[in-house]
Structure 1
Amino acid sequence: MKALKEKLEEKIEAHRPRVKKLLQEHGEKVINEVTVQQVIGGMRGIKSLVTDIS
């Protein structure tokens, strides 16, 4: 289980700069009636899907 947690931690840390850049550049942009900040910051009550296709 420890190896899985370590691998996930690596992937999350690698992804953080992308999310930070997205929020800095587009955080105030409106997506329908939802902002990027709302989507990244919890999505409570919001119908959405965040995916990373690579």
Structure 2
Amino acid sequence: MVDAGWSGLETMVGIPGLVGAAPVQNAGAYGSEVADVLTALTVLDRRTRAVPVWAT
């Protein structure tokens, strides 16, 4: 991720959990949180089977 220039989440390396829960709970550690770096989510509506992209 660092080689790709994606930084900002390295402080959260020790937080247990699943990727899907991180944006919902706005996981954070040591002064940074998911909301600081998140720009969009691709989600699945299990009821309608729609796959929208939620962008900020």
Q: What TM-score do you get using the length of structure 2 for normalisation?
A: 0.24
- Bigger fraction of residues in strand: 2
Higher RCO (Cα < 8 Å, 6 or more apart) = 2
Q: Which has the higher helix share?
A: 1
The normalised TM-score by structure 1 is: 0.25
Larger Rg: 1
